[in-house]
Amino acid sequence: MGILDFLKGEFIDVIAWVDDTRDTMVWRFEREGHAIKYGAKLTVREGQAAVFVHEGQLADVFQPGLYMLETNNMPLLTTLQHWDHGFNSPFKSEIYFINTTRFNDLKWGTKNPIMCRDPEFGPVRLRAFGTYAMRVADPAKFMREIVGTDGEFTADEVSFQIRNVIVQEMSRALAGSGIPVLDMAANTGDLAKLVSTAIAPKIAEYGLVLPEFYIENISLPEEVEKVLDKRTSVGLAGDLSKYTQFAAAEALGQAGGAMGATVGAGMGLAMGAQMAQGGPWGAAPAAAAPMAPPPPPVETVWHIAEAGATRGPFGRGHLGRLALEGSFARGTLVWSPGYAGWVAAETVPELAQLFTVMPPPPPPGV
């Protein structure tokens, strides 16, 4: 190999980058110690930008296109090196390719609950999560503020900081929105615009923009959601009395599973006996099987008001024992689901009977 071929191999005359990944934001062109030939071809594809760094200083930024690296299209580098128009020697610079396409479906979420004051429920804790898209808008600023000298920079390395900015502003937006918790789902679009607008200046300091920002869900803690579900059930039942009856019937239905199995087995045995008495298979039975009795009625329970406090709930039988003991009298105030307020025990027919069947006091000296 001649000296000219050796020197030619020491110079780089074609500079380009083809990205085959989905998360690389910055890639440094590997010179491996070789100098860049004056007049070399630089190819910057769509969705890319090329940034030249010379002796530690940020120089020229190239947008998509095909360039001949000469003094007329490298003004900053020419100024830094004090090159004249007759310059045609190789030079050494670092070249960083910036991916300026969108990085989609990046996740964000609140690590800890956000304390808010709801007009209906009072203080509540909320969680929120969603997605966003990120894009490099200012390659030079992005290099200066975020990348530095990192030879291969991925979206994961900056997404953590972006999430912190989003969560901080999301906390402020939720706490100051004044939107009731039950109306949050209908206002996620407006909240997303509010948060996106608020974080835009801070994101711009990194040379980035967020072209898309979505709030997918705003939720209450699990224990609060359970209480809210119970409240919804009460609303569906209509009033507290009906809800109490509904809950009792539901409990009886669950307990009736085992009883239903026993009744079914008994009916099967009765049917077998009737078929045996009736003769051949298919003959009419002598008598119909007895029907199972209906479930017992739901007992009404009562609360007692005494000395500014309440006791209960008590069934009618328990109240009868209290009446015998003297701790439950005609004027005692009672309340049961379905009553608008407290009433005297003697005004309730089923409780008034407790005082009419009481035995008289024993005679003196007995």
Pair 154, 25: CB distance under 8 Å: yes
pLDDT(176) > 60 = yes
- Token pair, residue 266, equals 């008994």
Write out the DSSP string of 141-181.
HHIIIIITT-SEEETHHHHHHHHHHHHHHHHHHHHHH---G
- pLDDT band (50, 70, 90) for residue 109: very high
Percentage of the residues of the chain whose pLDDT score is greater than 90? 25
- Residue 360 has a pLDDT of 59
Q: Where are the alpha helices (DSSP H) in the chain?
A: 3-9, 75-81, 139-142, 156-177, 188-204, 222-237, 240-278, 316-325, 349-356
**Paired residues of 54 in beta bridges:** 57
Question: Domain 302-356 carries which CATH code?
Answer: 3.30.1490
Confidence check: pLDDT of 35 > 80: yes
To which residue do tokens 């099987």 refer? Answer: 289
Give the pLDDT of residue 256.
55
Model pLDDT, residue 263: 45
Q: 60-74, 162-176, 238-252, 257-271: lowest mean pLDDT where?
A: 257-271
Cβ contact 93:54 at 8 Å: yes
- Tokens 């024992």 belong to 321
Question: What pLDDT score does 340 carry?
Answer: 79
Confidence class for position 89, pLDDT limits 50, 70, 90? low
Residue of 37 and 10 predicted with greater confidence: 37
Domain boundaries, the chain: 3-99, 103-225, 302-356
**What is the pLDDT at residue 236?**
61
Q: What mean pLDDT comes out for the span 307-314?
A: 82
In the chain, the amino acid numbered 58 is: L
Element (H, E) at 314: strand 309-314
Quick check: 283 pLDDT over 60? no
Find all residues with CB under 8 Å of 100, minimum gap 6, and list them: 47, 48, 49, 135, 136, 137, 139
Pick the range with the lowest mean pLDDT from 91-95, 103-107, 127-131, 286-290. Answer: 286-290
DSSP H/E element including 344: strand 343-344
> How far is CA 127 from each of CA 17, 116, 291, 348, rounded to the nearest angstrom?
42, 11, 54, 49
pLDDT for 1: 43
Range 103-225 has CATH code 1.10.10.10: no
Q: What are the b/e assignments for 2-35, b being 16+ CB within 10 Å?
A: eeeeeeeeeebeebebeeeeeebbbbbbeeeeee
Q: Say if residue 289's pLDDT is above 80.
A: no
Percent of the chain at pLDDT exceeding 70: 72
pTM of the model: 0.57
Same fold, 103-225 and 302-356: no
How far, in whole angstroms, is CA 221 from its chain's centroid? 10
Q: Are 89 and 69 in contact (CB under 8 A)?
A: no
For 133, the token pair is: 């898209």
Burial class of 336 by CB neighbour count within 10 A (0 to 12, 13 to 18, 19+): middle
Mean pLDDT of 51-60: 85
d(CA 159, CA 362): 86
Confidence band (pLDDT; 50, 70, 90) for 282? Answer: very low
Residue 7 pLDDT greater than 50, yes or no: no
Sheet holding 35-44, edge to edge: 11-15, 35-44, 65-68
- CA–CA dist 111, 117 (Å, integer): 19
Who wins on pLDDT, 361 or 39?
39
pLDDT at 239: 60
At 203-258, the pLDDT tens digits run: 999 999 999 999 999 888 787 778 777 777 666 655 666 666 666 766 666 655 54
- φ/ψ of 66, rounded to 5, equals -110, 125
